[in-house]
Structure 1
């Protein structure tokens, strides 16, 4: 009797432990805590990543669009050059809003490009409960690009830049792309399931399959997507659009070899790889801003020459 009760207690304790681990991973993946936008902006100003005076001097138009599910999504359009037929769209990563896209815009604005930045669903001033790592976010991106085309015309040269989850978004967008001419992926992952398996193994020393599987089932029930659906590398393999892959060689959040895998898997179209020495996750531009700009603009010039 005592042994039986002890066995039941052990099983219950195991189930409760698994439940809380699953709940933790679900929250870390799908409803990860967001960071304060004002603090992020000031932090980047302090690091010299954003020229505050230059950014505040720019003409800005705030826009709000509605997703297919009715979520209100906020964007900012910066038309610094009304005569330009070139626009860059920047997509931020998880836990941060459009504030973390600003640091990438200056190199384009000063070269006569216009810029569109926006808050992905659930972030900053955009509505939403869950992050789906590009599965639904690619449709949100399509809304903003269509808005841009309605305003500027179908001949607009549109480039996409994504950081981290934003990189996954812009790559997966290519599966429905009609207007974008090139994609820049900064510290993106190649396969979400593979990334999460590695994180669970790092946390516990072994891969706990039930934790990932149950977290995935919870994501399917609550957020209407599955981790196994998020495979940017599969889009890359089929794509012919020019792509650039950027990654810090000290990135432990998203292993740098994932960008190398995607670069190597791209068989059609222009491709470029830049591994930033000494850079951790999403810090390639921070470690060497001049080198980052040089690498990016060489790629962009190559693309523009191919279009012309």
Structure 2
């Protein structure tokens, strides 16, 4: 049901990894710094530059590679209904980006009376003191991947905002931020809500890269309106996650390849892989947090749950391990435990 069904596309991802690994094997005939620069640029373009013809986003669009967070398992009786609701109800919203230009998202009001006939959100109609959820999708995904979560929140009377991550959907003209750049954008999205509803009660929720995004936001100067954060299978840092993937997908060591890619990312996108750390931001967290992870997750290894939970400085924090759940599959594996815990957590903090 979630946007993270990684295992469903394992064969395609193996082919994708083999193809890129072959390109690197050819490059290894070069020597010294030339290899590091070439590999760093190639890795950056593949993973983080959607405008590159060699990017994973381009390969997904051409059907040449399986997605990482975009597979939806079958058997979810609510997904078709939720997707139809999402498409019929979504309203475009815009946020001026701190580095220029505009970022886009979708707003789904809890009450249809607020729907705007021109399909743009009439924020001023929301009144005051209402409940909001900002839901953050995963890598190579899109906001509609969280249509079921948004639909359930809508039924509970929560207004849902689903920003597209940098490098994704309508924000595909930017480099992928892996949650780090997007965490700063969350300050803007929360500020947009608070400007229109000073008494708003806001929850942040994210899965996979979105989970890392909300953890990275936890240590920023969030407005007091943000009452709680829920993260599902987010990673400890971009470096740690890419270290797992470069070995599993490409059979390459992190050094020098990942070091080179991080240097390229710092120069072109403005952040390094070690700098982009959920763990470091969590050390400044003050908002109540719920951490969720499937015990069978090998894509974002389950062991990362202990590290992020232990790092969290919030005086109120909880964790939920879902036995046997793979990456992003916790809610589908045990929906009663998952949604029971999430509903109780939101009920306490958005009351």
TM-score (normalizing by structure 1): 0.83
Unaligned runs of 5+ in 2: 1-26, 50-54, 62-66, 112-125
SS of match in other structure, 2:132: strand
User: Is 1:249–2:295 an aligned residue pair?
Assistant: yes
Q: How does 1:280-291 map to 2 (within 5 A)?
A: 280-291=326-337
Max Rg structure? 1
1:96 corresponds to: 141
SS of match in other structure, 2:180: coil
Q: How does 1:183-222 map to 2 (within 5 A)?
A: 183-202=229-248, 207-222=253-268
Distance in 1, matches of 2:309 and 2:254, equals 30
117, 120, 126: which one aligns with 2:165: 120
Change (3 A) 1:79 1:26: same
Distance in 2, matches of 1:208 and 1:173, equals 26
1:169 corresponds to: 213
Change (3 A) 1:28 1:272: farther
Deviation, structure 1 residue 162? 0.9
Deviation, structure 1 residue 136? 1.9
Q: How does 1:1-308 map to 2 (within 5 A)?
A: 12-14=29-31, 21-31=39-49, 32-34=55-57, 35=60, 43=72, 47-48=76-77, 50-52=79-81, 55-56=85-86, 59-81=89-111, 85-151=130-196, 153-174=197-218, 175-178=220-223, 179-202=225-248, 207-304=253-350
Distance in 2, matches of 1:252 and 1:43, equals 18
Deviation, structure 1 residue 20? 5.2
SS of match in other structure, 1:193: helix
Distance in 1, matches of 2:179 and 2:252, equals 28
SS of match in other structure, 2:171: coil
Question: Are the equivalent residues in 2 in contact too, given 1:247–1:275 (CA < 8 A)?
Answer: yes
Question: Are the equivalent residues in 1 in contact too, given 2:207–2:231 (CA < 8 A)?
Answer: yes
Unaligned runs of 5+ in 1: 1-9
Distance in 2, matches of 1:50 and 1:69, equals 36
Change (3 A) 1:208 1:103: same
Higher relative contact order (CA 8 A, sep 6+): 2
Deviation, structure 1 residue 18? 5.1
TM-score (normalizing by structure 2): 0.74
Distance in 1, matches of 2:176 and 2:166, equals 7
CA RMSD in angstroms comes to: 3.0
Change (3 A) 1:21 1:102: same
Distance in 1, matches of 2:213 and 2:182, equals 6
Change (3 A) 1:119 1:285: same
